[in-house]
Homo-oligomer: A and B are copies of this chain.
């Protein structure tokens, strides 16, 4: 039988990715303009490094300037990304076009995929990849 306290703790767990970037301050502005993200919390260090908590709809993510000494590497430093963001929106074609319009690069155009999604993929100016789509009706 489930332990009720443990079940409550699990239900209340939350998870959000923290993206490492070069130039966090610019990244905040990019994600606002590309994805209509909102900044909900931010720390600016004296050296200009930024830690920011962002929201897109009801989901949240973080971004922070990279610090290789703490094992936080930007995609620019490593030459690729080890996680990509999957964004589900009601109008993925518009969201995709908006992001490309402000500087994202198309990796795979919006396509109806055989696995039942309409989805496309972009890479942002900081090297992070985003798949934007929704399940087909």
Contacts and interface: CB of A to CB of B under 8 A. Distances in A.
A86 interface: yes
Given A8-B90, A9-B91, A79-B78, A15 B73 contact: no
A47 B57 CA distance: 36
Given A36-B10, A90-B8, A129-B71, A83 B15 contact: no
Interface string A71-83: 1111101111111
Taken together, the copies of this chain in the complex come to 2
Contacts of A18: 83-86, 131
Contacts of A62: 86
17 contacts: A9-B89, A13-B58, A15-B57, A16-B59, A17-B85, A18-B131, A20-B82, A68-B80, A71-B81, A71-B107, A71-B123, A72-B84, A75-B82, A78-B80, A80-B82, A81-B83, A83-B83
